[in-house]
Structure 1
Amino acid sequence: MAHILLVEDDLTYSRIVKTFLEKNSFEVTTTTKVKEAQTILSTGKFELIIADFRLPDGTGMELLQWAKSNFPHLQVILITHYSDIRIAIKAMKLGAFEYITKPINPDELLATVKESLAQKIELKSGISPKEPTKTESRKSETPYVIGESQEAQKLEKHIQLVAPTDLSVLVLGETGTGKELISKRIHEFSKRKDGPFVAIDCGALPKELAGSELFGHVKGAFTGALDNKTGHFESANGGTIFLDEVGNLSYEVQIQLLRAIQERKIRKIGGNKEIEVNVRIIAATNEMLTSHSSEGGFREDLYHRLNEFTLQAIPLRQRKADLEYFVGEFIQESNERLNKSIKSLSPEVWDIFYGYDWPGNLRELRNIVKRAVLLSSEDRIEKDALPLELYDNSYLTASPSQAISTSPATTVPPLVNPSAGTDYKSQWKEQEKELIQKVLLDTRFNKSKTARILNMDRKTLYSKIEKYGLE
């Protein structure tokens, strides 16, 4: 019987969840505070923590980081309100197995708990060839999708251009835009593809141990260094090392990293022997490192060493033309994981998806699709399977020009100047023509996608294409 620690300060909510899990054959211990949870975890054997994000003496994020540092293979599920979506996504980057939103759906909770425990069993039994550590990103289950939008095609061209070289690459982009997938694709099309690809989340590295994790240490180098340690740079020799959220590295570690790039040599903490390394570096950040360096937080010389070539990961709101591809991938993935057979989204759900700006990008989309697949009883996803907040303030019932303005990939022409004395009707037609033409180009004349993005039915779209001579 798996033992779960539930950390929730709403006692009524805690009692309901505890009773539900115990009815499904789990042993559950409850507490309300971060410090109490740490004490309990230190004295008992647990397989899983379920923690609310907001707690009286701290946050679920703090508990997650502490747990992963002390019990690396302990699974953590974070409970959030939907407004905490960016925090929840950050928690997953720090090693949380999953996040679920309040109000909790019992089926979703049970499926997530079982899935997390099943993954832990696989890791312990050695089924996985390499157990993830607290400093390595979990392997993404989502394949890289090129997409058909102009922005996505441009990104792919740049990837193919830089991949065969040995240039250091800086991947910029918001959280959840697939920076690690881009980096992995560069590696796969490089001359180093047969070498290791080592992914490190610098934001999850404890400051005092970051140098040791990256470059290794010798026995006795510091308190707790009971043996020699091989760092990630040495492990990545002959391949590629991916440094996610590189802006989080301390100034001292930045100096060590700069030396490793310049001299292609590293020195373990406490050691006096130099080790040659042949590693390509791909770094990623969601920060503006240029302003960070001007403020003294990030070394300017290191920035220029990392930034031999820049790629910009595209936010999902700027590649709405590719939304259908991603949704299809996530439905298929969720069907396999949850033993379901969902085929599509209802037209109403498509409208909601196209109208939403996706602040959490691909990670948010993936989790919402998985949740909706779980909650759907028919063969397609309906509106009632979505979180209420997804469409409460974002669902568009506007005109085509308003609908398309939600995607920054499309430039809306300026509004008519009422003092100009011009023909408003003619200007509106010209604006409409430009909008339709732009979206047709973005979707490569996929009329079904174009109609969805413009929030009009296909018959109307065909009529306007003919009217404006856009074929």
Structure 2
Amino acid sequence: MAKILVVDDDVTSVAIMRKVLEDSGHDVVSVSSGKAALDRITKFKFDVMVTDFNMPGMTGIDLTKEVLDKEQDIIVILITAFFTIKSVVEAVKLGAFDYLTKPINKEELKLTVERGLEKLQLVNENLILKKKVEKANPESESPGYLTSSKKLKKILKDVDKAAKSDSVILITGENGTGKEVLANYIYKKSHRSEQPFVVINCAAIPSQLLESELFGHARGSFTGAIKDHKGYFEVANNGTLFLDEIGDLEPLLQVKLLRVLQEKEFSRVGDTRIITTNVRVIAATNRVLKDLIADNKFREDLYYRLNVFEFHLPSLKERPEDIMFYFEKFVKDFAVANKKNIKKIEERVIKVLKTYHWPGNIRELKNIAERVTILCETGTITYDLLPLNLRESSAREVDIEPDIFGDNFSSNYNKSKDDFIRRFDLDFITKHLSKHSGNVEATAKAINFHPVSLRQKIKKLGIKPSEFKSQK
């Protein structure tokens, strides 16, 4: 849907054009003079202007010139019964998109407006690409939201229904639970899937800059604003805007966002003109918004406007069946990317993964899967490949019986002995390095080992003492 301004002093022509354009789903405003058109454009933002060439007081050429001086990206279509080659050339030089002749051909009018809007959409898409180029990842590329959790599958049934609507959706959950992945899934399931999907992290951008990024600004509205700037609510029109970390939004921006959600309109910073938008908003937060409301840090009316549909993503520890489901998937993906042949995961590793509390949720699990896949040289993911914090945490929580060989032990005596000694060295040294915050000299003294020999062994084992600096 586009906002179109029709300018013509011929009542019959206006009636015909209004009907054709409104039947095509557009919002149409009509005026009978160039002066009235300029007044409207000063107050409201239009996507397309269809104007008569010959009008009393101000010609279509004069109007086109003034309008394009104010609004460079508006699509101007001139229409008249008295075109000359000279006037056509002049109109095109000024920046008019096209011209039509009277009597008006309804199909030709529709097609010309559609072509103009396609050009406008292409310009906006290019602006989005300049603003933000999103890196594709396996989860967002997936046609479905992958999970083996019964709890989450039940939630997804309602998500599928909500995705097909235009309603605002609020996604809550801890960091790393996959809120952006779910937002992307909703977008791909919606009827807007061919339109832009733009991600904004409200906590990562300073509030003054965020206001400009979301709503745009007018030239001269602040120091450094040397030209008009379109915000995401404008360039992503008809698409989907994902506002991550919505709980960190400043109070002033909460008011402006509330207006957009209620009225579907906004103004650029430093401009009084009203711009309409048809953006679908999906918001997400890892904070408890009701607590923020109680502390007067979040507007209650905005909260109720946002949570038409609220979906809470449980943490990884609340859906244990997803731990190995995701881990195996990530290992497979990283094995392909790194040209590794991973055949097996040691039972001891599985036990550790299932008992760990996963404060970083799926994001932490994915990082560990990447690490062990890259370090693996034998085709089996073994216990010693896991990061120290994971091994120590799990050892405290459960009684893990020492398995000196693991699942992949060799029948060769010397090789098995070497593997056992390597594991002992790795566990013993990392444990004591952790106790001494990565200080090699202090560690060597504590374990009665020569510092030079210890440094050589640390290097051979691939241990990085700097990783233990912050540990107590």
Aligned equivalents of 1:372, 1:362: Cα separation in 2: 15
Partner of 1:255: 255
SS at match of 2:198: strand
Cα offset for 1:393? 2.3
SS at match of 2:195: coil
Residue pairs, 1:328-347, within 5 angstroms: 328-347=328-347
Aligned equivalents of 2:128, 2:338: Cα separation in 1: 23
Partner of 1:469: none
Any stretches of 5+ residues in structure 1 without a counterpart? Answer: 1-128, 401-471
Any stretches of 5+ residues in structure 2 without a counterpart? Answer: 1-125, 401-472
Cα offset for 1:137? 6.5
SS at match of 1:297: coil
Aligned equivalents of 1:272, 1:325: Cα separation in 2: 53
Would you say the 8 A contact 1:355–1:396 is kept in 2?
no
Cα offset for 1:390? 0.2
Cα distance change of structure 1 residues 297 and 134 upon mapping to structure 2, 3 Å threshold? farther
Residue pairs, 1:20-31, within 5 angstroms: none
Letter in 1 for 2:252: E
Would you say the 8 A contact 1:351–1:395 is kept in 2?
no
Partner of 2:225: 225
Residue pairs, 1:68-467, within 5 angstroms: 138-143=135-140, 145-395=145-395, 398=398
Cα offset for 1:397? 7.7
Would you say the 8 A contact 1:146–1:156 is kept in 2?
no
Aligned equivalents of 1:380, 1:235: Cα separation in 2: 49
Would you say the 8 A contact 1:146–1:153 is kept in 2?
no
TM-score of the superposed pair, with normalisation by structure 2: 0.54
> Which structure would you say has the larger Rg?
2
Q: Deviations over 1:294-315 (max 9, x none)?
A: 2111111111100111101121
Would you say the 8 A contact 1:344–1:381 is kept in 2?
yes
Cα offset for 1:286? 0.6
Would you say the 8 A contact 2:148–2:325 is kept in 1?
no
Would you say the 8 A contact 1:289–1:298 is kept in 2?
yes
Cα distance change of structure 1 residues 339 and 226 upon mapping to structure 2, 3 Å threshold? farther
Cα offset for 1:218? 1.5
Cα distance change of structure 1 residues 159 and 384 upon mapping to structure 2, 3 Å threshold? same
Cα offset for 1:398? 4.9
Partner of 2:415: none
Would you say the 8 A contact 1:136–1:199 is kept in 2?
no
Q: Deviations over 1:396-451 (max 9, x none)?
A: 78599xxxxxxxxxxxxxxxxxxxxxxxxxxxxxxxxxxxxxxxxxxxxxxxxxxx
Q: Deviations over 1:306-334 (max 9, x none)?
A: 01111011211111112222112211221
Cα offset for 1:337? 3.0
Letter in 2 for 1:204: A
Partner of 2:406: none
Cα offset for 1:216? 0.8
Aligned equivalents of 1:397, 1:172: Cα separation in 2: 28
Q: Deviations over 1:57-101 (max 9, x none)?
A: xxxxxxxxxxxxxxxxxxxxxxxxxxxxxxxxxxxxxxxxxxxxx
SS at match of 2:281: strand
Cα distance change of structure 1 residues 131 and 266 upon mapping to structure 2, 3 Å threshold? closer
Aligned equivalents of 1:167, 1:136: Cα separation in 2: 26
Cα offset for 1:131? 8.8
SS at match of 2:367: helix
The Cα RMSD (Å) is: 2.3
TM-score of the superposed pair, with normalisation by structure 1: 0.55
Would you say the 8 A contact 1:135–1:205 is kept in 2?
no
SS at match of 1:282: strand
* More divergent stretch after superposition (155-164 vs 296-305): 155-164
Aligned equivalents of 1:348, 1:309: Cα separation in 2: 41
* More divergent stretch after superposition (297-306 vs 229-238): 229-238
* More divergent stretch after superposition (290-299 vs 303-312): 290-299
Aligned equivalents of 1:295, 1:398: Cα separation in 2: 40
Q: Deviations over 1:375-401 (max 9, x none)?
A: 11011211111111102122478599x
Aligned equivalents of 2:216, 2:397: Cα separation in 1: 57
Cα distance change of structure 1 residues 134 and 240 upon mapping to structure 2, 3 Å threshold? closer
Count of aligned pairs between the two proteins: 272
* More divergent stretch after superposition (306-315 vs 266-275): 266-275
Kindly, what percent of the aligned residue pairs are identical?
A: 38
Would you say the 8 A contact 1:135–1:204 is kept in 2?
no
SS at match of 2:394: coil
Letter in 1 for 2:231: G
Aligned equivalents of 2:139, 2:161: Cα separation in 1: 23
